[in-house]
Amino acid sequence: MKLHSKLAGAMALSLGIAVLAGGCGNNSGIQLSTEKTNVVASFYPLYDFASKIGGDRIHAVSAVPAGVEPHDWEPKTRDISQILKADVFAYQGAGLEGWVDDLLKSRKDKNSLITVEASAGLDLIEAEDHGEEGHEDEHKDDHEGEEGHDHDHGDFDPHAWLSPMNAKKMAEAVKNGLAEADPANKAEYEANFAKLSTSFDELDRKYRDTLSKLPKKDIVVSHKAFAYLCRDYGLNQVAIMGLTPDSEPTAQDMKNINNFIKEHQVKYIFFEELVSDKLAKTLANDLKIETLVLNPLEGLTDAQLKAGEDYFSTMEKNLQNLVKALQ
């Protein structure tokens, strides 16, 4: 699915090139430090992991601004320049960031920037057609010729961070990158990662113990982002939209989802906060059921960051809403 370039342009114009820095939004773009190890993460989860592992030793920023869906974001010239000047650049890979290949090819000194592809080595899930059978083919032609990068995720689903065990491996990759860039503080990074690793283990155990006891296993979601979570904990997702949340379902998709909800007595439709909830709420209203948030953690809003939310608190809230829906 290709990026809707007009939508992306409008969002970029209205939101500017704000960036997460020091745990909150910053509307002055990617700012690097002259005193600390600079770590640029492509999007929020990697920023959060880097911040927890690096602590005061690093200056971490997220390329994608607070409140912006990463599928809709591409770097401007100055963003690229700043990323290439950093000490470490951590990105997800697996097709999430359509702009990364061009950025890495533009490096003049390939030894000056340590790159961390966080999804490398993970047991990735192969991407399926967006939505129900035939959905992707029907809309493919609609997006041919649009400007910007192709945001079709390709062969794999990139949303691996929604599995706490995958997230732990991703954080370890970030830790290794920090240790390579700043070997003098390797022991501190190792110690911080050890604490973080324990938190991932506890989160995984809580998800496993809680969800295994619930009678229902089917979730209906607006964005097909939860395959890894479902694989880990024995759930089944039915998605209104595909791997990119700007993909649109066909009339047949909507009919199939409608029938699924009725047949399986689904009581809630999950939506996310960084994209429009109109379709999910319209479907819920038609079926006289309710909606709940299931956050794919592709980014947090400024308000969430200022309130101290992070990967773990958001995953805890996701679990609470899953419990409510699967009773």
| pLDDT, tens digit only, all 327 positions of the chain | 333 333 334 333 333 333 333 333 344 479 999 999 999 999 999 999 999 999 999 999 999 999 998 987 999 999 999 999 999 999 999 999 999 999 999 988 777 899 999 999 999 999 975 433 333 333 333 333 333 343 455 689 999 999 999 999 999 999 999 999 999 999 999 999 999 999 999 999 999 999 999 999 999 999 999 999 999 999 999 999 888 776 788 899 999 999 999 999 999 999 998 888 898 999 999 999 999 999 999 999 999 999 999 999 999 999 999 999 999
User: For residues 229 and 210, is the Cβ–Cβ distance under 8 A?
Assistant: no
Sign of CA dihedral 189, 62, 115, 112: negative
Residues 249 and 239: their CA atoms lie apart, in Å, by 9
Q: What is the rounded CA–CA span in Å between residue 196 and residue 221? A: 29
Compute how many other C-beta atoms are within 10 angstroms of the C-beta atom of residue 186: 15
pLDDT for 5 equals 37
Structure confidence at residue 147 (pLDDT):
37
Distances (CA, A) of 14 to 9, 20, 67, 167, 319: 9, 17, 12, 31, 33
CB-based contact 192:53 (threshold 8 Å) = yes
Tell whether pTM > 0.95. Answer: no
- Measured in Å, how far apart are the chain's first and last C-alpha atoms? 35
* pLDDT given at position 3: 36
Which DSSP letter does residue 246 get? T
pLDDT at position 109? 79
